[in-house]
Each structure stands twice: as C-alpha cells, then as structure tokens.
Amino acid sequence: MPQVTFLPHAEHCPEGMVVEAETGKSLLDVAHDNHIEIESACGGVNACTTCHCIIRKGFDSLNEADDLEEDYLDRAWGLEPTSRLSCQAKVGTEDLTVEIPKYSLNHAAEAPH
C-alpha cells in the first residue's frame, strides 16, 4: 500500500503524519479516516475549494483532475501547479506527500468527522 505523508499543519495535523492508504481512495477520505480534519464544506462532492491541498511528492501518480475540479481550483487560496481538491484526488500506486494550505475560503467550517 502507498504511504501518504501529511506535512505538519498547525490546526489539522500539528505533528504531521504518515499513513498507509488504499489505492483508489480519495485523499480527503484518507485524511478523515486518520483523524486529520481537512475541511470539506460541500461534503466532498467537488462543489467548493475548502479541501484544497498541495501535492509535494507523487503528483503524477494521482488520477487526472477533470474540468470541474480545475474550475474550482482556480478559486482556491494559495493555488500551485500541483494543487488538487483532496475529495477528487485518488491515491495511485506511489507514495505521496501532501501539504494542507494554511488558509481556505471556507465561511462555515464543518464539525469534525
């Protein structure tokens, strides 16, 4: 199984974390399964930008972003060439390193899962 390294984030994962992930599972689900509460105002259905993350390693192993995801990413805070919505990015066969941006454009954060 590939490993996903979540880099430290002051609120969501202060110490950082390395977890094993099932191929084909979304990064959002991997995070939530491991108590890393990445925001997802839309519930993970590709309808906002709150679960935006930056892939620091393994970007090419993810599934390709579709046009709708690309449109939402254009609105994300701190967009980078390796940005993805974690609800749409599916784990491939390579290890990943994921950064959760410092800010999101969420106006009403959900309760933890």
Residue ranges covered by each domain of the chain: 3-99
As its CATH architecture, domain 3-99 has Roll (3.10)
Spell out the per-residue pLDDT of the chain, length 113, in tens.
999 999 999 988 999 999 999 999 999 999 999 999 999 999 999 999 999 999 999 999 999 999 999 999 999 989 999 999 999 999 999 999 999 998 776 544 444 44
* Spatial contact of 95 and 57, defined as CB atoms under 8 Å apart: yes
d(CA 1, CA 94): 9
pLDDT of residue 111: 46
Name the 3-class secondary structure at 85.
Answer: strand
pLDDT of residue 109: 47
β-strands 52-57, 83-85: how paired?
antiparallel
Please tell me whether the overall predicted TM-score, pTM, comes out greater than 0.85 for this model: yes
- Token pair for 82: 């390796």
